[in-house]
Amino acid sequence: MINDASSAAFERAQALLPGGVNSPVRAFRGVGGVPRFIDRGAGAYLYDIDGNQYIDYVLSWGPLILGHAYPAVVEAICVQAQRGTSFGAPTELESELAELVIAAVPSVEMVRFVSSGTEATMSAIRLARAYTQREKIIKFEGCYHGHADPFLVQAGSGVATLGLPDSPGVLKSATSNTLTAPFNDLDAVEALFKANADQVAALVIEPVAGNMGFVLPREGYLAGLRQLCDQHGALLIFDEVMTGFRVAYGGAQAYFNVMPDLTCLGKVVGGGLPAAAYGGRREIMQQVAPAGSMYQAGTLSGNPLAMVAGIQTLREIAKPEVFERLTGVTSTLCQGFWKAAFKNGIPFQAHKAGSMWGFFFAADEVYDFTSAKRADTVMFGKFFHAMLEQGVYLAPSQFEAAFVSTAHTDELVAQTINAAQAAFASIRS
Ligand code: HOZ
């Protein structure tokens, strides 16, 4: 596969942008080689500037549940763009998207729109601290909640991909109130609550982890966290930036039937444009300014282009048959990959929930960050490149998740499994 144009574009970008990118994982440091520079996307396909076509399982890291350039979303954006792209004043579009979010996500009674997942999570913990009048938070090793200072402790995603220590520039005082526990370990959480009695404002978790690879909660784990939060007077925050409208229309809370106090949303809620949100119980949300005194604001919050993209996207996917189909697609992919790996004698684990999935080159169960880090990242890199060569675009890191869209047809899925068979055979040592 020729990538001369991408190589030249990367050269140019590296002189202009740190590492040649605007978000670290895109630089392919986790897998080596030249990141593909994208020309355009259509449905399930991405096209790079060398003219190569890929079946895309990154989908802009999750938002594009309808695939690239879905006609009704594009149309809604174009119509809105002609009416104005930003007003810095309220529009009815914000209430329209809020109604859709509140109807979809069971625990959300009120919502505040922001522009990125990072903003949503940092605002949610500020709100939890304001509401409980407590300072500490509990997060989980390998979970990633954006790049705000208090969360950059044992973080997943790019921090894990690059094997970075907790980031320089983050003051000790900013993280001194962040406690960490291993994912899927209730006893560790209980011990933290006991050791920090009446001090924990909130426990924040990706209910299905998508930033240490894709790792499912064990049965009863989320319900156990709910119980511990109730016992110790802390709020439970689900970071559903990735899982929201993805593992089910109502997110992981609907999928597992465990209700958090606050929910962070992003990605799908903006339909591929920069929108995110935090929301939850009315009584808590009423503390956000100007209804209450917890301050948080943003010039582009509730941006009309992002609102119409979100509205159109949610309308299109708010049908049970959409999720049945997406769930079937991830099952077929996981089974197909697993069988192909098994046939080639390669240790392999695949996980799925709704329209999200992921895999590890590991013989033993992956259930937390430590077991995820034991997976063979060298093998992952070889597999990634073998798939890329065959026109399948996966996340360029072991510590990310994969996604599907409504544009991934049975034929494309079969083509992907055939590519995986060939890729496993080629990397077998
Ligand atoms: N943090 C994102 C994945 N979990 C990566 C975002 C991007 O590079 O666009």
Buried-exposed string 210-243: b where 16+ CB fall within 10 A, e elsewhere: bbbbbbbbeeebbebbbebbeebebbbbbbbbbb
Tokens of 63: 């938002």
- Decide whether any atom of ligand 1 lies within 6 Å of the 400 Cβ: yes
Distance between CA atoms of residues 16 and 378, nearest Å: 29
Element at 125 (helix H, strand E): helix 117-132
Contact (CB, 8 A) for 255 and 355: no
Dihedral angle of Cα 310, 312, 315, 321, to the nearest 10 degrees: -100
**Phi, psi torsion values for 48, nearest 5 degrees:** -95, 175
The best mutation among 157, 212, 264, 397 to test binding of ligand 1, ranked by most ligand atoms within 8 Å of the C-beta, falls on 157
The protein residue with its alpha carbon nearest to ligand 1, atom 4, reads 157
pLDDT band at residue 428 under the 50/70/90 scheme: confident
In sequence order, what are the residues at sequence separation of 6 or more whose Cβ sits closer than 8 angstroms to the Cβ of residue 40? 46, 47, 68, 69
Q: Three-class SS of residue 53?
A: strand
Amino acid at 281: R
Which atom, in ligand 1's list, is nearest to the CA of 146?
Answer: 1
- How much of the chain is helix, strand and coil, in % rounded to 5? 45, 15, 40
Residues 57, 144, 255, 367: which is the catalytic one?
144
Instruction: State pLDDT tens for residues 94-142.
Output: 999 999 999 999 999 999 999 999 999 999 999 999 999 999 999 999 9
Instruction: State pLDDT tens for residues 167-209.
Output: 889 888 888 999 999 999 999 999 999 999 999 999 999 999 9
- Decide whether any atom of ligand 1 lies within 6 Å of the 116 Cβ: no
Distance between CA atoms of residues 239 and 393, nearest Å: 26
Domains of the chain: 4-69+320-428 (3.90.1150.10), 71-317 (3.40.640.10)
Verify whether residue 45 is a known catalytic residue.
Answer: no
pLDDT band at residue 154 under the 50/70/90 scheme: confident
Q: Three-class SS of residue 277?
A: strand
Cα–Cα nearest to 116, from 62, 166, 167, 78:
62
Verify whether residue 144 is a known catalytic residue.
Answer: yes
Instruction: State pLDDT tens for residues 216-225.
Output: 999 999 999 9
The best mutation among 21, 61, 144, 240 to test binding of ligand 1, ranked by most ligand atoms within 8 Å of the C-beta, falls on 61
Distance between CA atoms of residues 147 and 8, nearest Å: 30
- Decide whether any atom of ligand 1 lies within 6 Å of the 22 Cβ: no
pLDDT score of 165 more than 80: no
Distance between CA atoms of residues 401 and 161, nearest Å: 12
- Decide whether any atom of ligand 1 lies within 6 Å of the 25 Cβ: yes
The protein residue with its alpha carbon nearest to ligand 1, atom 1, reads 157
Q: Work out the number of other CB atoms within 10 angstroms of the CB of residue 90.
A: 9
The best mutation among 21, 22, 25 to test binding of ligand 1, ranked by most ligand atoms within 8 Å of the C-beta, falls on 25
